[in-house]
């Protein structure tokens, strides 16, 4: 099953969640009504049969109150998550954001592993958080939109896992992003809030009864009996809520954990990495348990169990997970492993195997071992002045400014003057130094460096982000024309930095509804990647036949302006997942018509996939491998 099929299938899970929730609410409502009826009969307030009770106003009042509490709590929590996304979940559990300029070795190891996985998979880097004060070894991803996704790891994971084990855990979590699990899991936190509230209320009643039982009561014996009976009933019903919460969580989570474990092995080709992480959890005193008050809410979303439970566990047993991915792995071996950071392989160790040519839709979002090695080599090839600037949000702005000015034709001095006036002398000087450095670099570094800068830019205050984007637009307009690269850069920045709190709705449109937009995109691709007009025309017709079953009229290059391309991409972003898959396959046919992929085509592809929200692994790895053959 590829990226698009996973995205399409993920939508069907929401209907099952609603069905499970409805069943849970109905049974809880019936149980509470039964409890109230039993208490009323016990104290002599109501002696009629149950059938009569169900026709009384008390039945309607009790049912309405239960629905109000359960559904109201779920709706409130879902509203909080919709507005805050993954950040709201991280803050809910008390996690703190990672400063990407940190020099802490454990945090640097985490940041480097995430950067490598993102470059290798084409998946946007999630915001990083540490679950402070949690000794258990655990992690999770959360978010309703790619721009809002967060990756949270516990302090225990950073302390006790070595680099290979941490990378295995990260690969596991990236699989949840790729498969669409992260959106469903985050929604489930809100959906279950009301059901779990009943269980939490039951536990509260139990504790309250312990203290009230020893205190002197001024109520009548009959009233006290009613309170005790209702309290006991609510406690039992509360456990029913917890039971159904666990049932829903386990139904969603257990099989997906096996799939994510297998994906982590596929990504890294190192089964001992994730197997070692699981073994460390199994031997650790706290395991994966967390002490946070929302541990029950988070059970289905974490890498391992947050509570020491066997009944209705949300995750398969650790031994079974290890057996499936590394049958010969010995748990005792993990106790002797020391925490160490593996050095990135040198640039000349880039693998020479010939991968799939063009866009392999079966591998979208799935980092390969070759891709991870390429990512490590690419990170190592970034000049130190640029890489060190990427560790500071303000300096990261200079990296992007300098890259943009390096592509400008005659507007460098005016651009630096604008930066001196609006950003200060220091940032202007840093931009000027980086500007001369960029002119010596290969084009393949441009967009990966921008993607590395974006997580740092996101940490800026929203007002400063808006000002930064305005300056980008000012610099773009200096030479009074919008080049394709300038447009691509703006697409990357605006798609990930603008409207961070807005959750995008999944697309539902068909290719027939956006045929003109798709043909414009194919026209742009044919002009960009093929110098000879006849070859470009053949490439366009090949892609059009694959997409619509017929040849079409290719637009002239003058009609393929970046502004028109932007309108087309905005419309194409509303395609349903399986329709996006067909579009990407047609794009691949257009690009590979001449059996070559230029750096410009690769950059254009990355921007297209960014707008379509399709993770694209690095095509530059294919280019460098093919050149050595």
Catalytic residues: 173
CA nearest neighbour of 250 among 322, 306, 170, 204 = 306
Q: Using CA of residue 568, residue 574, residue 578, residue 579, what is the dihedral sign?
A: negative
| 127: helix, strand or coil | strand
d(C-alpha 60, C-alpha 80), whole Å: 29
**Residue for token digits 């596929």?**
266
- Whether the CB-CB separation of 127 and 149 falls below 8 Å is answered with yes
In this structure, the strands spanning 127-131 and 139-142 are unpaired
- Tokens of residue 85, six digits: 């996304």
**Residue for token digits 């507005």?**
83
d(C-alpha 484, C-alpha 563), whole Å: 10
Alpha-helical segments (H) within 43-56: 50-53
CA nearest neighbour of 284 among 161, 170, 173 = 161
**Residue for token digits 């090949």?**
542
Question: Which positions ≥6 away from 97 have C-beta within 8 Å?
Answer: 90, 127, 128, 129, 459
d(C-alpha 561, C-alpha 545), whole Å: 24
68 CB-contact burial (10 Å; exposed 0-12 / middle 13-18 / buried 19+): exposed
d(C-alpha 406, C-alpha 404), whole Å: 5
Burial 387-402 (b: 16+ CB within 10 A, else e): eebbbbbbbbbbbbbb
d(C-alpha 606, C-alpha 618), whole Å: 9
**3-class SS letters over 454-510:** HHHHHCCCHHHHHHHHHHHHHHHHHHCCCCHHHHHHHHHHHHHHCCCCCCCCCCCEC
> Cα 541 to chain center, whole Å?
36
Beta bridge partners of 141: 151
Q: How many other CB atoms sit within 10 Å of the CB of residue 24?
A: 23
Question: Which positions ≥6 away from 227 have C-beta within 8 Å?
Answer: 219
What single string gives the DSSP state of each residue in 172-186?
HHHHHHHTTHHHHHH
d(C-alpha 335, C-alpha 460), whole Å: 41
| Strand intervals (E) in 62-219 | 96-97, 127-131, 139-142, 150-154
**Residue for token digits 């009959």?**
222
d(C-alpha 273, C-alpha 212), whole Å: 52
CA nearest neighbour of 229 among 211, 207, 205 = 205
């Amino acid at each position: 099953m590829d990226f698009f099929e996973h995205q399409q299938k993920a939508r069907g899970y929401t209907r099952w969640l609603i069905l499970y929730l409805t069943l849970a609410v109905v049974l809880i409502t019936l149980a509470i009504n039964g409890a109230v009826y039993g208490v009323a009969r016990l104290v002599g307030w109501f002696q009629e049969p149950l059938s009569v009770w169900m026709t009384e106003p008390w039945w309607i009042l009790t049912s309405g109150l239960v629905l109000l509490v359960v559904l109201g709590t779920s709706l409130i929590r879902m509203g909080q998550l919709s507005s805050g996304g993954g950040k709201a979940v991280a803050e809910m559990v008390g996690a703190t954001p990672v400063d990407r300029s940190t020099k802490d070795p454990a945090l640097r190891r985490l940041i480097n592993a995430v950067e490598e996985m993102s470059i290798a998979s084409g998946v946007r880097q999630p915001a990083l958080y540490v679950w402070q004060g949690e000794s258990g070894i655990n992690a999770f991803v959360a978010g309703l939109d790619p721009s809002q996704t967060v990756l949270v790891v516990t302090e225990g994971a950073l302390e006790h896992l070595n680099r290979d084990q941490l990378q295995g855990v990260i690969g596991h979590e990236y699989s949840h992003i790729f498969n669409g699990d992260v959106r469903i899991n985050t929604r489930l936190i809100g959906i279950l809030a009301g059901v779990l509230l009943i269980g939490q209320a039951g536990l509260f009643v139990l504790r309250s009864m312990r203290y009230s039982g020893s205190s002197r009561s001024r109520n009548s014996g009959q009233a006290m009996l009613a309170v005790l009976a209702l309290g006991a009933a609510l406690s039992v019903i509360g456990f029913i809520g917890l039971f159904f919460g666990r049932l829903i969580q386990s139904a969603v989570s257990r099989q997906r954990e096996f799939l994510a474990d297998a994906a982590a092995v596929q990504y890294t080709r190192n089964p001992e990495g994730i197997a070692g992480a699981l073994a460390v959890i199994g031997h650790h005193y706290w395991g994966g348990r967390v002490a946070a008050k929302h541990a029950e809410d988070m059970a289905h979303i974490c890498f391992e169990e947050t509570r020491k439970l066997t009944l209705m566990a949300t995750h398969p047993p650790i031994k079974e997970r290890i057996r499936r991915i590394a049958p010969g792995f010995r748990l005792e071996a993990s106790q002797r492993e020391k925490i160490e950071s593996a050095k990135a392989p040198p640039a000349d160790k880039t693998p020479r195997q010939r991968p799939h040519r063009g866009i392999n839709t079966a591998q979208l979002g799935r980092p390969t071992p070759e891709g991870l090695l390429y990512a490590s080599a690419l990170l190592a090839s970034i000049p130190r002045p640029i890489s060190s600037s990427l560790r500071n949000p303000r300096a990261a702005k200079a990296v992007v400014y300098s890259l943009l000015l390096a592509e400008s034709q005659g507007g460098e001095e005016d651009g630096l003057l604008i930066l001196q006036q609006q950003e200060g002398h220091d940032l202007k000087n840093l931009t000027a130094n980086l500007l001369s450095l960029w002119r010596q670099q290969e084009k393949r570094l441009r967009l990966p460096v921008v993607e590395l800068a974006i997580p740092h830019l996101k940490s800026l205050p929203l007002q400063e982000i808006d000002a930064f984007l305005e300056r980008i637009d000012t610099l773009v307009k200096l030479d009074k024309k919008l080049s394709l690269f300038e447009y691509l850069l703006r697409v990357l920045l605006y798609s990930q930095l603008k409207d961070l709190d807005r959750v995008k709705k999944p697309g539902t449109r068909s290719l027939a509804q956006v045929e003109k937009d798709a043909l414009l995109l194919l026209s742009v691709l044919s002009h960009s990647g093929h110098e000879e007009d006849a070859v470009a025309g053949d490439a366009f017709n090949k892609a059009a036949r694959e997409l619509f079953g017929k040849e079409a009229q290719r637009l002239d290059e003058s009609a393929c302006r970046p502004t028109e391309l932007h309108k087309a991409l905005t419309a194409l972003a509303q395609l349903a997942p399986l329709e996006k898959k067909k579009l990407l396959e047609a794009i691949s046919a257009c690009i590979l018509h001449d059996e070559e992929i230029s750096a410009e085509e690769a950059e254009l592809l990355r921007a297209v996939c960014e707008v379509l929200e399709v993770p694209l692994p690095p095509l530059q790895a294919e280019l460098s491998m093919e050149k050595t053959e």
